[in-house]
Chains A and B, each alone.
Chain A
Amino acid sequence: MERSFKAEVESLRLGNGEVFEGEGILAVTKGLLQSGVSYVGGYQGSPISHLIDVLVDAKPLMDQLGVHLETSTSEAAAGAMLAASINYPIRGAVTWKSPVGTNVASDGLSNISSSGVIGGAMIILGEDYGEGASVIQERSHAFAMKSTMWLLDPRPNLPSIVNLVEKGFELSEASNSIVMMQLRIRTCHVYGRFTAKDNREGKISRNHPQQRPEFSLMRLPQPGFTVPQERLKLEQRLPAAIRFISENKLNEQFPGDLSEIGIIMQGGLYNTVMRVMQRIGLADAFGKSRIPLYCMNVTYPMVPDEITAFCAGKRAVLMMEEGHPDYIEQALNTVLRRADINTRVFGKDVLPMGGEYTADVVLKGLAAFLDKVRPAGIDAVIDTAKAQVEKIAGYKASAGELLGNPVPGRNPTFCTGCPERPMFTSIKLAERMVGPTHVSGDIGCHSFGMYPPFHVGNTCVGYGLGLASSTGIAANFGKRTISIMGDGGFWHNGLTTGVASATYNNADSVLIVMKNGYTSATGWQFLPSSAQRREGLEAQDQSIENALRGVGIKWMRKVNNYKVGSVAKVLREALTTAEKGLKVIIAEGECMLAKQRRVRAEDAKNIAAGRRVAKAKFGVDDQVCTGDHSCIRLSGCPSLTIKENPDPLRRDPVATVIESCVGCGLCGEVSHAAILCPSFYKTEVVHNPGVVERGLDRLRRRVITWLATPPAPPTPMIPGEVGLAQAAE
Chain B
Amino acid sequence: MADTTRPVTILISALGGEGGGVMTDWIIAAAREQNLICQATSVPGVAQRTGATTYYLEVFRDKLEPGKPEPVMALYPQAGDIDLMVASELAEAGRACQNGFVTPDRTTLITSTHRFYLLDEKMGMADSRLDAERLEKAVRAMAKRVIAGDFVRAAREAGTVINAVLLGAMAGSGLLPMPVEAFERAIRSDGKAVEANMRGFHYGLSVARGEVVELAPKTRPLPAAPQTAQPAGTLLALRDRVARDFPPATHEIVIEGVARVVDFQDFDYGKLYLDRLAPILAADGGDYSVTRETARYLALWMAYEDVIRVAQLKTRLARLERVRAGSGGKAEQPVIVTEFLKPGLDEFCSLLPASLAAPLLRWADRTGRRDAFNVGLHIRTSTVLGFALLRMMAKLKAWRRRGYRFGVEQALIARWLAAVEAGLTRDPALGREIAECARLIKGYSDTHRRGQGNFLRLMDTIVDPTLARPAGPDTDANAAAALATARKAALADPEGNALGATLEKLGRVAVAS
| Residues of A bordering B, CB below 8 Å | 21, 46, 131-134, 156-157, 185-187, 189-192, 270-272, 274-276, 278-279, 281, 283-287, 358-360, 363, 388, 391-392, 395-396, 398-400, 402-415, 445, 448, 451-453, 521, 523, 565, 593, 614-615, 617, 619, 621-624, 626-630, 632-633, 636, 638, 640-644, 646-653, 657, 659-660, 667-668, 671-672, 675-678, 680-687, 689, 693-694, 697, 700, 703-705, 707-709, 711-718, 721-725, 727-729
A659 to B323, CA, bound (A): 13
Task: Identify the closest chain B residue to A185 (Cβ).
Answer: B43
Tell me the smallest distance from the CB of A413 to a CB of chain B, in Å: 5
Task: Identify the closest chain B residue to A270 (Cβ).
Answer: B72
A685 touches B328 (CB 8 A): yes
CB-CB contacts below 8 Å: B254-288 with A: 255-257, 259-260, 262-263
Task: Kindly identify which residue among A624, A640, A712 contacts B305, using a CB–CB cutoff of 8 Å.
Answer: A624
The segment out of B133-141, B203-211, B354-362, B481-489 that lies at the interface is: B133-141
B222 touches A623 (CB 8 A): yes
**B residues in contact with A689, CB < 8 Å:** 333-334
A716 touches B255 (CB 8 A): yes
Tell me the smallest distance from the CB of A194 to a CB of chain B, in Å: 11
**A residues in contact with B342, CB < 8 Å:** 671-672, 675, 678
A659 to B248, CA, bound (A): 41
B123 touches A453 (CB 8 A): yes
B79 touches A396 (CB 8 A): yes
A286 touches B94 (CB 8 A): no
A413 touches B50 (CB 8 A): yes
Task: Kindly identify which residue among A392, A700, A725 contacts B80, using a CB–CB cutoff of 8 Å.
Answer: A392
A678 touches B320 (CB 8 A): no
B137 touches A402 (CB 8 A): yes
Q: Mark B369-383, 1 if CB is under 8 A from A, else 0.
A: 001001010100111
Given A410-B51, A410-B52, A623-B313, the answer on whether A676 and B445 have CB atoms closer than 8 Å is yes
A662 to B103, CA, bound (A): 40
**A residues in contact with B76, CB < 8 Å:** 186, 272, 275, 358-359
**B residues in contact with A704, CB < 8 Å:** 320, 381-382, 384, 387
A379 to B395, CA, bound (A): 86
Q: Quick check: is B422 within 8 A (CB to CB) of the other chain?
A: no
A680 to B381, CA, bound (A): 13
A sample of 27 cross-chain residue pairs with beta-carbon separation below 8 angstroms, ordered by A number, consists of A185-B43, A190-B75, A275-B72, A284-B5, A285-B72, A359-B79, A395-B80, A396-B79, A402-B97, A407-B94, A411-B46, A413-B50, A415-B16, A617-B326, A632-B123, A651-B127, A652-B439, A676-B445, A676-B447, A685-B328, A700-B384, A704-B320, A707-B387, A707-B391, A711-B226, A713-B263, A716-B231
**A residues in contact with B337, CB < 8 Å:** 681-683
B444 touches A678 (CB 8 A): yes
**B residues in contact with A445, CB < 8 Å:** 47
**A residues in contact with B79, CB < 8 Å:** 359-360, 392, 395-396
**A residues in contact with B63, CB < 8 Å:** none
B259 touches A716 (CB 8 A): yes
Tell me the smallest distance from the CB of A430 to a CB of chain B, in Å: 15
Task: Identify the closest chain A residue to B217 (Cβ).
Answer: A729
Task: Kindly identify which residue among B52, B220, B255, B316 contacts A708, using a CB–CB cutoff of 8 Å.
Answer: B316
B229 touches A714 (CB 8 A): yes
Task: Identify the closest chain A residue to B28 (Cβ).
Answer: A191
Tell me the smallest distance from the CB of A636 to a CB of chain B, in Å: 6
A554 to B458, CA, bound (A): 52
**B residues in contact with A395, CB < 8 Å:** 79-80, 100, 103-104, 142
**B residues in contact with A523, CB < 8 Å:** 48
Tell me the smallest distance from the CB of B433 to a CB of chain A, in Å: 16
The segment out of B172-180, B235-243, B401-409, B503-511 that lies at the interface is: B235-243
Q: Quick check: is B317 within 8 A (CB to CB) of the other chain?
A: yes
Max chain B C-beta neighbours (<10 A), residue from A411, A617, A677: A677
Q: Quick check: is B221 within 8 A (CB to CB) of the other chain?
A: yes
**A residues in contact with B340, CB < 8 Å:** 667-668, 671-672, 678, 680-682
A630 to B125, CA, bound (A): 7
**A residues in contact with B80, CB < 8 Å:** 388, 391-392, 395
A56 to B77, CA, bound (A): 33
Q: Mark B299-337, 1 if CB is under 8 A from A, else 0.
A: 110000101001011111111100110111100111111
Task: Identify the closest chain A residue to B91 (Cβ).
Answer: A407
Task: Kindly identify which residue among B314, B318, B439, B443 contacts A711, using a CB–CB cutoff of 8 Å.
Answer: B318
Task: Kindly identify which residue among B94, B224, B307, B338 contacts A681, using a CB–CB cutoff of 8 Å.
Answer: B338
A724 touches B252 (CB 8 A): yes
**A residues in contact with B391, CB < 8 Å:** 707-709
B117 touches A641 (CB 8 A): yes
Given A271-B73, A275-B72, A358-B76, the answer on whether A709 and B259 have CB atoms closer than 8 Å is no
A713 touches B314 (CB 8 A): no
B72 touches A274 (CB 8 A): yes
Given A21-B32, A678-B340, the answer on whether A649 and B296 have CB atoms closer than 8 Å is yes
**B residues in contact with A448, CB < 8 Å:** 47
A621 to B320, CA, bound (A): 10
Tell me the smallest distance from the CB of B69 to a CB of chain A, in Å: 4
Q: Quick check: is B39 within 8 A (CB to CB) of the other chain?
A: yes
A410 touches B118 (CB 8 A): yes
Tell me the smallest distance from the CB of B271 to a CB of chain A, in Å: 14
B316 touches A677 (CB 8 A): no
Q: Quick check: is B74 within 8 A (CB to CB) of the other chain?
A: yes
Given A403-B134, A407-B98, A619-B323, the answer on whether A711 and B317 have CB atoms closer than 8 Å is yes
**B residues in contact with A187, CB < 8 Å:** 41, 75
Tell me the smallest distance from the CB of A565 to a CB of chain B, in Å: 8
A406 touches B123 (CB 8 A): no
A628 touches B316 (CB 8 A): no
Given A279-B81, A630-B494, A684-B336, the answer on whether A46 and B44 have CB atoms closer than 8 Å is yes
A465 to B56, CA, bound (A): 36
A682 to B329, CA, bound (A): 13
Q: Quick check: is B426 within 8 A (CB to CB) of the other chain?
A: no
Given A281-B1, A284-B1, A626-B443, the answer on whether A452 and B120 have CB atoms closer than 8 Å is yes
A648 to B263, CA, bound (A): 15
A682 touches B256 (CB 8 A): no
**A residues in contact with B74, CB < 8 Å:** 271-272, 274-275, 359
**A residues in contact with B24, CB < 8 Å:** 191
Task: Kindly identify which residue among B72, B231, B324 contacts A271, using a CB–CB cutoff of 8 Å.
Answer: B72
Q: Quick check: is B388 within 8 A (CB to CB) of the other chain?
A: yes
Q: Quick check: is B461 within 8 A (CB to CB) of the other chain?
A: no
A619 to B340, CA, bound (A): 11
Known contacts A396-B98, A403-B97, A617-B327, then 9 further A-B pairs from the complex at CB < 8 Å, ordered by chain A residue: A157-B72, A412-B49, A622-B221, A652-B126, A675-B445, A684-B336, A709-B312, A714-B225, A723-B255
Task: Identify the closest chain A residue to B262 (Cβ).
Answer: A713
**B residues in contact with A275, CB < 8 Å:** 72, 74, 76, 78
A413 to B48, CA, bound (A): 10
**B residues in contact with A626, CB < 8 Å:** 305, 442-444
A388 to B129, CA, bound (A): 35
Q: Quick check: is B119 within 8 A (CB to CB) of the other chain?
A: yes
**B residues in contact with A672, CB < 8 Å:** 340, 342, 376
Task: Identify the closest chain A residue to B318 (Cβ).
Answer: A711
Task: Kindly identify which residue among B221, B253, B451 contacts A646, using a CB–CB cutoff of 8 Å.
Answer: B221
B51 touches A713 (CB 8 A): no
A363 touches B78 (CB 8 A): yes
A360 to B81, CA, bound (A): 10
**A residues in contact with B221, CB < 8 Å:** 622, 643-644, 646
A272 touches B117 (CB 8 A): no
Task: Kindly identify which residue among B52, B142, B494 contacts A399, using a CB–CB cutoff of 8 Å.
Answer: B142
A133 to B51, CA, bound (A): 12
A403 touches B227 (CB 8 A): no
Task: Identify the closest chain B residue to A190 (Cβ).
Answer: B41
Task: Identify the closest chain B residue to A413 (Cβ).
Answer: B50
A406 to B94, CA, bound (A): 9
Max chain B C-beta neighbours (<10 A), residue from A407, A565, A729: A407
Task: Kindly identify which residue among A622, A703, A727 contacts B384, using a CB–CB cutoff of 8 Å.
Answer: A703
